[in-house]
Chain A
């Protein structure tokens, strides 16, 4: 099958190719004149004049010109030869994130019901399982499938990415309909994730919801989310952190207390948010965290001489200004200056840099949480970015909000998925513009050869 990246260019070439055809019929050229000294003996033939006007010998030139324009248009339209595929397949994607464990059997039943009604090729994908795919025959016969491991499956976006990679590697399919069997969760989501989803997988998804809706605890990162009630304590040292953190937290609805250096704030108010910028005395931060506080420590500042090294360089972080941290995949907050250091393995990562490296680490500690930010909280243009408050909120909620790696399919995501209204059938060639074999240079080469041939023949013909 021949597909075009710019179909309108191919159409334009076809339209232009009609122009020589129209000119051939509309333009009347005078007949060729030739000398013949014995012309007076010729029998005048009026029919010859009409025949000469039509110049049937020019049909070859006409054909060459039309073909040249047509091939030129097709060559510039980005033609690609896509392998012929046939048939339609239904792929059922089982959500294997940890939240599915309580509703696993219900999910399996739903998957069996979907597969039973499928005509044509069908597959059952379970990213969190060892094989990644469950054989259909035994599955439909009722063979049990153990629930996935706690960390299996990856997040929603990762699952879509893996699905697309699998589709790209497959042959012989015209289109694939994906049925996502999952448990709806109401958690924070950002509207921009829809564009990310389209980029990762432009096809349509049909979602089959199983189980009850899960309402996650903790503050939401979405617009108009619930206002946290825990007060925030900002320890202001010798000027490293200005009023931005304080202002942002206040905007998020937190009560902000400012502590002078050396002050640790009221000891009898656990559950607060404490921010320790670099240079401040964060001794006692671990103790505060164990009592239930969430402590945000700007990287580079040790949490006391006996504090365990929370930062262990694992590949390092790119130093210098100009980097950005990712609040979510679609939200980039430029201007953050990443400082050297990195989290220990195993901690939760509430934020990452543009390159995917951790930008902050969160470690539950007792009743609370210690969050180490690997960047300056008020560095550069960071405080002026629209996402700045949400960045601080992500740090403040790091231990409460699941890490980005445990992708949850929330209600917002389902609404985005269900409301897209995309066509149920999406050709594999629509997955990536780069699919198929590029034929543009061959079309353009053929057009060039035709142009040369037309020029040679046109020169030789009177």
Chain B
């Protein structure tokens, strides 16, 4: 049951199978190793990767950043300084509302896929020297784990992601503002959500506020092919799980307007994000969510 993600040059097992075998940790680790095996440039470069300048060595400097080549040439110790001389603080906000509990034909729920993606991104960012924290959105926004780069941070992140369950339907906009409040300086915010909000403008405004003060904001929208109208669904009485009283009888399989409506909504979101300096990524929650993730990371490259 192996599949070859496009462009990575690696192969790995079905993530759903990985999860069943060893949980989120194993799945995330193998995905990361697969990415690493493709000799990608780190998509989230951290300390030591973004060189700024050399300066003279001063007493107490970290010898890990001593430029030994320059020392050999000049006989004088020089320290390599990077653009971000301090650790980048990153928040990964996982939407854990009821709509994220939807399971398409691929087998995994959107929340589970989001957790896998969050685990992979956290792993990569921690490897890059960033401090990563986890926030979740359910009935209320919850800042579950502050950003750190400690030895056990990855394990803590995985533990939190494993325990996430879909509940509630708190709006995303206020949650983003809450994350912005605790992010004291420029940092990175990665949002994993289906973005199926009633107040879409509120969400875009909150994203814009984060981006305008210099935060790196990445929005990853997760939708299944069924939600996009790209997979057949039988006639039934359909309702948004966050609004169960507003259902309607429909036949999605023959509803072209449904497909077009979702596509239009997604386009509007993407345009709104890009217009506000927010990176927008569409991730299909199908049978293989890892391939599109790998594709995105490959295209992203270092920043």
Contact = CB atoms under 8 A, between A and B. Distances in A.
B284 interface: no
B127 to A, nearest CB: 33
B248 interface: yes
A35 B104 CA distance: 10
A152 B226 CA distance: 92
Nearest to B97: A37
Q: Which of B229, B237, B242 has the most CB of A within 10 A?
A: B237
A36 B240 contact: yes
A277 B4 CA distance: 112
A39 interface: yes
Interface stretch (B11-19, B77-85, B251-259): B251-259
Q: How large is the interface on A (under 10, 10 to 19, 20 to 34, 35 or more residues)?
A: 20 to 34
Contacts of A42: 238, 248, 250, 252, 255, 258
Contacts of B51: none
A308 interface: no
Given A48-B235, A51-B235, A52-B249, A40 B240 contact: yes
A37 B247 CA distance: 10
Given A41-B262, A42-B258, A44-B249, A33 B242 contact: no
The binding surface of chain B is classed by DSSP as mixed
B180 to A, nearest CB: 26
A35 B240 contact: yes
Contacts of B99: 37
B62 interface: no
Nearest to B226: A36
Given A37-B227, A39-B239, A51-B235, A31 B249 contact: yes
Nearest to A56: B235
Interface string A213-248: 000000000000000000000000000000000000
A52 B247 contact: no
A59 to B, nearest CB: 15
A38 B249 contact: no
B227 A38 contact: yes
A45 interface: yes
Nearest to A51: B235
B194 A37 contact: yes
Contact of A40 (B234, B237, B246, B257): B246
Nearest to A36: B238
Contacts of A49: 237, 249
B102 A35 contact: yes
Contact of A48 (B102, B196, B249): B249
Most buried by B among A32, A35, A39, A40: A39
Interface of A: 30-46, 48-49, 51-52
Given A37-B194, A39-B248, A52-B237, 13 more contacts: A32-B234, A33-B239, A34-B237, A36-B102, A36-B226, A36-B252, A37-B242, A41-B262, A42-B238, A42-B248, A42-B255, A44-B250, A48-B236
Interface of B: 99, 102, 194, 196, 223, 226-229, 233-243, 246-252, 255, 257-258, 261-262, 265
12 contacts: A32-B234, A34-B237, A34-B239, A35-B239, A37-B242, A38-B223, A39-B239, A41-B258, A43-B250, A43-B258, A45-B235, A52-B249
